[in-house]
Amino acid sequence: MRITDARVIICSPGRNFVTLKVTTEEGIHGLGDATLNGRELAVASYLTDHIIPLLIGRDARRIEDTWQYLYKGAYWRRGPVTMTAISAVDTALWDILGKAVNRPVYELLGGASRDSVMVYGHANGSNVDDTVAAVGRYVTAGYKAVRAQCAIPDMPHAYGVGRGDLYYEPAERGTPPETAWSTERYLPFVPTLFERLRREFGPDVHLLHDVHHRLTPIEAGRLGKSLEPYHLFWMEDPVPAELQEGFRLIRQHTTTPIAVGEVFDSVFDCHQLITSQWIDYIRTTVVHAGGISHLRKIANLAELYHVRTGSHGATDLSPVCMAAALHFDLSVHNFGIQEYMRHTDDTDLVFPHAYTFADGVMHPGNASGLGVDIDELLAAQYPYEPAYLPVARRQDGTMHSW
Ligand code: CS2
Ligand code: MG
């Protein structure tokens, strides 16, 4: 099963996506998502200029060996661009293997560990009433878990307040938009939001909140403690996580469960977090953390330490990543939850897929491989458009983490 062709397809059906398509001598093709929001062309070049020439002629069945060849062979290890490119190759090879043996990928990963995959959606609003209404729409739509974000009074650009109900798209065409941030206003406000949500929706719906890397460890400890009465499913990305040791301090102060990892690209970003039991959910995902192969290694380590998975699944991760994530989620024992922000209708048409949503849960479907494809003719009608994620400044003008 020699690889005879590999190509990068860049399209923008509502937002930018980079997709790797690998084809074998038998004419089987596999897909991998290679989208790195705001830095898309760097991954496209890494694949086209440095990886694709190495793939031609390789045996597509040697998935682990190819992973190690690309990882060790580059000499320069890790980093989001490298790892997103390796992820795309790995995902495409799993897709090919599934198609070659005519089985859905989750069966090759050990089979289903559960009947379906619980997902959460994003509810947000420009004030508490709007956020309550948005959570209500998700509950009515059958969701068992909802992430709630709200603009802080007098701070309209708090993280997570998007432009649509179903899609959350922070990247904007042109240069990076600037947003303002105030920890002083945020910290006392968030508990009032969740107090209201629990009053409106009762104890059963899982409520989540994304801090989006904005706090220091001691501030995060205070927030977690003040949210304990509302028993969140998780508090996400409380601090920027380069300093794994910082989570020890958060953990000392609160029992609110902690999720982290959407920007991590390998197990080396989180091994200390996991083995020290400083977190409860690891959010690494197929497209950025080394593909299905490496994500399984992270999950297997996490399982030993009672840490469960909660993969990133925002709108900027393509339907190819979503399909791969669902095969992973269904098979892995220590699954926790999967984020699911819907794609636009244009995106769904470009990437026809077998995965389904009903009653708050998803299933990858039983098509062979990943069960997702790309309509290249349609994709060509949506050319790449440069776009950036926002940046954040504190009110005195100091750069802050967005
Ligand atoms: C977010 C993302 O989904 C999440 O939890 O943190 O929306 C994130 O901001 C984007 O994926 C960045 O590309
Ligand atoms: Mg997040």
Q: What is the mean pLDDT of residues 305-323?
A: 97
Could you give the C-alpha distances from 126 to 149, 163, 260, in angstroms and in order?
9, 10, 25
Place of tokens 């989750």: 106
Atom of ligand 1 nearest to the CA of 159: 9
In this predicted structure, what is the pLDDT of residue 210?
Answer: 98
Q: What amino acid is encoded at 42 in this protein?
A: A
Residue 159 pLDDT > 90, yes or no?
no
DSSP 274-287: HHTT--SEE---TT
Mutate to test the pocket of ligand 1, among 262, 337, 389 (most ligand atoms within 8 A of CB): 262
Atom of ligand 1 nearest to the CA of 313: 3
**Considering every ligand atom, which ligand is closest to the CA of 312?**
1
Question: How much distance in Å is there from the Cα of 60 to the middle of ligand 1?
Answer: 32
Q: For residue 163, what pLDDT band results from cuts at 50, 70 and 90?
A: low
What is the rounded CA–CA span in Å between residue 91 and residue 372?
Answer: 12
Q: Is the Cβ–Cβ distance between 236 and 283 less than 8 Å?
A: yes
Partner residues linked to 202 by β-bridges: none
In this predicted structure, what is the pLDDT of residue 174?
Answer: 86
- Decide: helix, strand or coil at residue 22: strand
Taken in order of first residue, the domains within the chain and their CATH numbers are: 3-103 (3.30.390.10), 108-367 (3.20.20.120)
User: Token pair for residue 46?
Assistant: 């890494």
- Nearest residue (CA) to ligand 1, atom 6: 212
The pLDDT tens digits for 91-112 are 999 999 999 999 999 999 999 9
In this predicted structure, what is the pLDDT of residue 149?
Answer: 96
Question: How much distance in Å is there from the Cα of 218 to the middle of ligand 2?
Answer: 20
What is the rounded CA–CA span in Å between residue 2 and residue 327?
Answer: 25
User: Token pair for residue 267?
Assistant: 């197990």
The alpha carbons of the chain give a radius of gyration, in whole angstroms, of: 20
User: Token pair for residue 385?
Assistant: 């458009």
pTM of the predicted structure, to 2 decimals: 0.97
What mean pLDDT is reported for the chain? 96
Partner residues linked to 206 by β-bridges: 145
Q: What amino acid is encoded at 239 in this protein?
A: V
- Nearest residue (CA) to ligand 1, atom 4: 314
Ligand 1: lining residues by beta carbon, under 6 Å: 37, 168, 170, 210, 212, 262, 312, 314, 316, 339, 389
Instruction: Count CA within 13 A, CB hemisphere, residue 363.
Output: 12
- Nearest residue (CA) to ligand 1, atom 11: 314
Mutate to test the pocket of ligand 1, among 168, 317, 391 (most ligand atoms within 8 A of CB): 168
Residue 196 pLDDT > 70, yes or no?
yes
The phi and psi torsions of 81 (rounded to 5 degrees) equal -70, -50
Mutate to test the pocket of ligand 1, among 43, 258, 312 (most ligand atoms within 8 A of CB): 312
Place of tokens 């060509």: 380
H-helix segments, 178-240: 183-201, 217-227
Question: How much distance in Å is there from the Cα of 371 to the middle of ligand 2?
Answer: 26
Q: Is the Cβ–Cβ distance between 364 and 104 less than 8 Å?
A: yes
Measured distance between the N- and C-terminal CA atoms of the chain, rounded to whole angstroms: 45
- Nearest residue (CA) to ligand 1, atom 13: 37
User: Token pair for residue 96?
Assistant: 């090919």
**Considering every ligand atom, which ligand is closest to the CA of 159?**
1
User: Token pair for residue 399?
Assistant: 């750069």
User: Which residues are designated catalytic?
Assistant: 159, 212
In this predicted structure, what is the pLDDT of residue 164?
Answer: 61
Q: Is the Cβ–Cβ distance between 350 and 374 less than 8 Å?
A: yes
Per the rule left: phi > 0, alpha: psi between -120 and 50, beta: everything else, 365 is left
Residue 165 pLDDT > 80, yes or no?
no
The pLDDT tens digits for 236-266 are 999 999 999 999 999 999 999 999 999 999 9
- Nearest residue (CA) to ligand 1, atom 7: 314
In this predicted structure, what is the pLDDT of residue 166?
Answer: 63
For residue 206, with 0-12 CB atoms within 10 Å meaning exposed, 13-18 middle and 19 or more buried, which class applies?
Answer: middle
